Amino acid sequence: MKPIVRAIGNEQMKKDVPTFKVGDTVKVHTKVAEGEKERIQIFQGIVIARKGTGIHQSFTVRRISYGEGVERVFPLHSPRIDKIEIENEGRVRRAKLYYLRGRQGKKATKVKDSLTTTTPQEQKS
């Protein structure tokens, strides 16, 4: 990559991005323009994928809305994203959680919490 392009990309990257990973439940505050006014809309769901590097990073958030799965892909360093709040940290063993697409009900929205750990004896009972 040319040094000029890299310098412009580094200029536009956000500095205040929280560290979140796949499996976390996040609230993404996006700016929505309605006519001449601008408001903040919140999209809450589970991060099922992250991809890209640098200015090209993006992440996919999935939620269930009225019984239907809804996914949105957000560019991480977009000026349209106001802030990202981490609601819950999940513990997963996959880089991409595309298997959640095939699930229904509560199973489609639950990922193991990182705070609740169980021993093998507790899992058997």
CATH classification at residue 45: 2.30.30.790
Mean pLDDT by 10 residues, the chain (125 residues): 83 89 96 94 96 93 92 94 94 92 84 64 56
The pLDDT score that the predictor gives to residue 73 is: 97
HEC readout, 56-111:
HCEEEEEEEECCEEEEEEEECCCCCEEEEEEEECECCCCCCCHHHHHCCHHHHCCC
Q: What range defines the domain where residue 70 resides?
A: 3-96
Extract the tokens encoding 40: 């903040």
Residue 74 maps to a domain: yes
Residue among 77, 111, 86, 73 nearest 18 (CA):
86
Residue 116 maps to a domain: no
The pLDDT score that the predictor gives to residue 35 is: 92
Residue 82 maps to a domain: yes
The pLDDT score that the predictor gives to residue 86 is: 95
Predicted model pTM: 0.83
Residue 119 maps to a domain: no
Q: How many structural domains compose the chain?
A: 1
Residue 117 maps to a domain: no
Which one-letter DSSP state was computed for residue 124?
H
The pLDDT score that the predictor gives to residue 67 is: 87
